[in-house]
Amino acid sequence: MWCYRGGSISAEPRINDRIRVPEVRLVGPSGEQVGIVPLAKALELAQEYDLDLVEVAANARPPVCKLMDYGKFKYESAMKAREARKNQAHTVIKEMKLRPKIDPHDYDTKKGHVVRFLKQGDKVKITIMFRGREQSRPELGFRLLQRLASDVEDLGFIESNPKQDGRNMIMVLGPHKKKTEAMAEAREAQAARKADRVEADRAKSEADAPTETPSEA
């Protein structure tokens, strides 16, 4: 039985003298098609341009290679990947627990949290907790969930209808806005607030600045 005993397989492309083929399909530094050339000629051109010969399609016949600054290419690729991870939107499921006989003040507080979560682009799992005799009145929990869904319908929708889960009743609300949209709006709002503060500070500085009075002749 064949067994691989070498080191880990590198995902890095072969460059320069690591390329071991007689000829390559060469792409120039600006993306122009040079054509099929001997490997020695491609390496010679790389030296003339002070660039690297990088194998970009190893499985092609012949392999496709491009003239580029490989160090710069790797750096720019790493920065793009970092920015993509930074802006990646992860869907988060928040949870809010209520009692079927919740008082109006607590209800408004809980609803406020649900509104905030939905505005952020997060899903919200609403859990109604029944205790004792309340378990015989599931309609109380159902009506409460329907009321909450109606109160926030401008921001979210019922993604999972109310269902009984032991002593609890659960409903999931989904946001109308995507997480990426919510994040973009939050950044815009933050930038606007910063601009307003700068303008307010500037206006205050101008108001506090001493005014010159004309001197007497």
Higher pLDDT, 10 or 58: 58
CB 182: neighbour CB atoms within 10 A?
Answer: 18
pLDDT over 60 (residue 4): no
pLDDT over 70 (residue 61): yes
Residue type, 145: L
Higher pLDDT, 37 or 204: 37
Pairing of strands 64-68, 52-57: antiparallel
Pairing of strands 23-27, 52-57: unpaired
In this prediction the pTM is 0.47
Among 136, 180, 175, residue whose Cα is nearest residue 154: 175
Instruction: Dump pLDDT digits (tens) for 99-108.
Output: 999 999 999 9
- Average of per-residue pLDDT values in the chain: 85
Return the pLDDT at 2: 36
Instruction: Dump pLDDT digits (tens) for 124-147.
Output: 999 999 988 888 889 999 999 999
